[in-house]
Structures are given as C-alpha cells and as structure tokens.
C-alpha cells in the first residue's frame, strides 16, 4: 500500500534496536483518514475470506479493526490485556512480549467468540507473532476458525510473518519492513 509506505517514510521514526515509532499517526495519535484507507485495503484483500467477525487486541488494534468492521459490515471484538476479575465465560491465554520482556494475559468473552465463527484478526504491528499466536489459541479454545490476519506494518526481520504463514494462516501486511538497520527504513520490494 503505497500511501502507507510514503507516510511511514515521512512520519515514522527509526530508533535503535529495531524499533519503528509511528505514534504520530498510528498508535498514539491516529490519522482517521489513513485508518479508513487501511480498512478499505484490508476489506479488498479479505473480500473472499468468508470472515464473519473481526477480532483485535486493545489498545492500538482497535482503530484499524473498527474501521475494517465498518467497511466490511462485520462486528468487532477486542481482546483485553488483563485477566478479568471473574473468569466466568472468559477465554484466556498467555502472550510473551519480546519488546517488554514479560508475559501478559489476553482474554475475550466466550459470548463473543463462538464455535464456528470465522475470525479476521486485525492489528497494527506484526513483529514476532506472539500476539497473533495468542489470538489463534483463543480461537481454538472457542472452536472458532481464523479466516485471516491483517497487519498495518510487518517487521519481516522479526520473523513472525514466516512463522504464522508456516502455520497455515493467511497473513496480509500492508507495509512489510525488511530492515531497520542503521536506523534506516527499508521496505520489502
């Protein structure tokens, strides 16, 4: 998605340690017009995936997910990042974050992820893929299927995309970054 790549080059900041800061337009301050274009592109790519619900993870997945849900006419569920007070009817799994070097729980109500659901997972970043694996585990627990996974930005050099594709998931990333070496953003051609 060329408009997205241009925006990343213009407003993204590359920091030491493979970190790409896009907090001026994607995950702290957000550009709703760009989010709508991102949603249009996800809708185009997943038009024939047969999804009947969007799933994401709070907080920065919510904006692209609600826009994609709006464009595709599908409900949107967001997994929460902490264990609820009561686990009654809740599905929960552990996710290890390489960035934060700690484990956190994600959970979702079993009322909203149901047997037979075909989920489309939408998130802002794909790095090592652990959050996506967590979503796949919640889907498995619920007896739901994953119709696909869509990410605004994939950091290919952190190998989550390869892992998820090798697991058989359909993964679509709107901008794939090959390298952030020398604090320079290089997209995959």
Binding of a second copy by 78 (CB under 8 A): yes
Binding of a second copy by 62 (CB under 8 A): yes
Options 18, 40, 45, 66; binder of a second copy; rule CB under 8 A? 66
CB of 178 to a second copy, least distance (A): 28
Binding of a second copy by 5 (CB under 8 A): no
Q: Judged by CB, which is closer to a second copy: 96, or 112?
A: 112
Binding of a second copy by 24 (CB under 8 A): yes
Query: Cβ neighbours of residue 71 under 8 Å, at least 6 residues apart?
Result: 36, 39, 40, 42, 43
Strand pairing partners for 90? Answer: 109
CB of 27 to a second copy, least distance (A): 9
Interface segment toward a second copy; rule CB under 8 A; list 27-35, 147-155, 157-165, 173-181: 27-35
In this structure, the number of other CB atoms found within 10 A of the CB of residue 100 comes to: 8
How far is Cα 52 from Cα 15, in angstroms, rounded to an integer?
A: 38
Strand pairing partners for 154? Answer: 126, 176
Query: Cβ neighbours of residue 56 under 8 Å, at least 6 residues apart?
Result: 62, 64, 65, 76, 77, 78, 79, 121, 122, 123
Binding footprint of a second copy on the chain (CB under 8 A): 23-24, 28-33, 35-36, 58-59, 62-63, 66-67, 69-70, 73-78, 80, 108-109, 111-112
């Amino acid at each position: 998605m060329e408009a997205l790549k241009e925006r990343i080059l213009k407003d993204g900041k590359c920091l030491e340690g493979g970190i790409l800061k896009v907090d001026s337009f994607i995950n702290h301050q957000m550009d709703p017009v760009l989010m709508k274009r991102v949603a249009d592109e996800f809708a185009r790519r997943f038009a024939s995936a047969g999804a009947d619900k969007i799933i994401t993870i709070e907080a920065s997945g919510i904006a692209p997910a609600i826009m994609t849900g709006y464009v595709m006419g599908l409900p949107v569920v967001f997994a929460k990042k902490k264990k609820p007070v009561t686990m009654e009817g809740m599905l929960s799994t552990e996710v290890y974050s390489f960035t934060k070097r700690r484990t956190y729980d994600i959970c979702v109500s079993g009322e909203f992820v149901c047997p037979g659901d075909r989920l489309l997972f939408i998130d802002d970043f794909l790095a090592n893929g652990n959050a996506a694996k967590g979503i796949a585990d919640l889907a498995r627990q619920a007896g739901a299927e994953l119709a696909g996974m869509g990410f605004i930005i994939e950091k290919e050099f952190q190998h989550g995309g390869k892992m998820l594709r090798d697991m058989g998931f359909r993964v679509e990333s709107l901008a794939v970054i090959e390298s952030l070496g020398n604090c320079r953003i290089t997209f995959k051609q």
